Amino acid sequence: MALLKKINSKATAAINTGFGSNNAAQGGRFINKDGVPNVEKKGVPFFERISWFHTLLQLSSTKFLLVILLFFLGINFIFACIYSLIGIEHLGGLSASNNLEKFGEAYFFSAQTFTTVGYGRINPTGLMASAVASLEALLGLLTFAIATGLFYARFSKPRAFLKFSDNALLAPYKDGLAIMLRIAPFKNNNLTDAEAKLTVGLTLEEDGKMVNRFFFLDLEYSQVNALTLSWTIVHPITESSPFFAFSKADFANTAGEIMVFVKAFDDMFSNTVVARSSYTLSEIVTGAKFLPMYHRNQQNNTTILDLEKLNAHEAVDISSRFEEVQKRSGN
């Protein structure tokens, strides 16, 4: 309750955040660092709560290609087993002498049928083998149509391609303090009309129980015309900030999370792209400031954005700033 009283009534409360106020029912952070909500859904069968389209689009490129490869190997193994059960003798043109080699021939016949390559050396004979081969060819056509659609969707999906700094900083700002975080584009896309919104969720004691309270954080600049270089998003700790009366101990001991929402317009896709991340209060470095991450080249005709310095910061003494803020807040 003491911490709740410290929060100035001028702080703008956020009501419709999409996250519940019951702290006892909420576990961990609200949003993971990669921007995905930290929620596990139960109550329906696994296959009903999974959208395979979304899952395959969200996989990394390596995992997506691995899924395609494993599916291709697995489906051909299944059909090779079916041909073996029907009888290898129903595949004409086999030249293998032992069972293992015959199974290998059936496997590669399946691969040729599935991809509709059909070299012609091996061919199905008999009704059952021909029917299975026809079914496999149809399945192959449908599968490759789906795979092609997924490849195109992954390739053409609008994405922000933004990196967030690993930590937020509690840094000097004018005559006071501010919470700062940094973002930067890491691809050769062009983002315009970028807008950022910050919401903080604090776990506070109210009437003897712990509850979640959410507040909007005012920004120095909530919009920029073009997101070409890095953008340091700054929340000045003024009287309207929920952090106005926070001490160093409050920042260290309070459970809370700053959720970051960024959207911008990608002129190549002619579409709005979004990016999300979050910082728990324990991930805020107290007494630090970001180091510059772009500079001129040697010929002084190009600006170099060094993405390796996205998280680069140095320690600064903010003790006097804390004392000044405490005096202004009356604590």
Q: pLDDT tens digit string along 129-185? A: 899 999 999 999 999 999 999 999 988 888 899 999 999 999 999 888 999 999 999
The per-residue pLDDT for 269 is: 85
pLDDT in tens, 205-254: 776 777 788 889 999 999 999 999 999 999 999 888 888 878 788 888 88
Separation in Å, CA 34 to CA 57, 162, 276, 277 = 15, 11, 7, 6
pLDDT of residue 6 exceeding 80, the answer is no
Hey, what are 180's tokens?
A: 């700062």
More confident residue, 261 or 2: 261
Q: Is the pLDDT of residue 270 over 90?
A: no
What pLDDT score does 318 carry?
A: 84
Cα(321)–Cα(177) distance, integer angstroms: 7
Q: Spell out the CATH class of 2-40+160-329.
A: mainly beta
Give percent helix, percent strand, percent coil of the chain, each to the nearest 5: 35, 30, 35
| In the chain, % of residues over pLDDT 70 | 89
Separation CA 211–CA 20 (nearest Å): 9
Give me the mean pLDDT over the 302-313 stretch. 93
Domain 47-156: assigned CATH number: 1.10.287.70
pLDDT at 62 over 80: yes
In total, the chain counts a number of residues equal to 331
Collapse the DSSP code of 85 into the 3-class scheme (helix H, G, I; strand E, B; otherwise coil) and give the result: helix
Inter-axis angle of helices 127-156 and 99-114, nearest 10: 50
Among all chains, which residue has been given the structure tokens 């954080």?
A: 217
pLDDT above 80 (res 84): yes
**Is 60's pLDDT higher than 80?**
yes
Residues 202-212 as b/e (b if ≥16 CB within 10 A, e otherwise) read bbbeeeeeebb
Domain residue spans of the chain? 2-40+160-329, 47-156
Q: Which position has the token pair 């909500």?
A: 37
Q: How large is the C-alpha radius of gyration of the chain?
A: 29
**3-state SS class at 321:** helix
Contact of 260 with 35, CB cutoff 8 Å: no
**Pairing state between β 168-173 and 284-286:** parallel
Q: How many CB atoms lie within 10 A of CB 199?
A: 21
Distance CA 145, CA 161 (A): 28
Q: Which strand (E) or helix (H) includes residue 211? A: strand 209-217
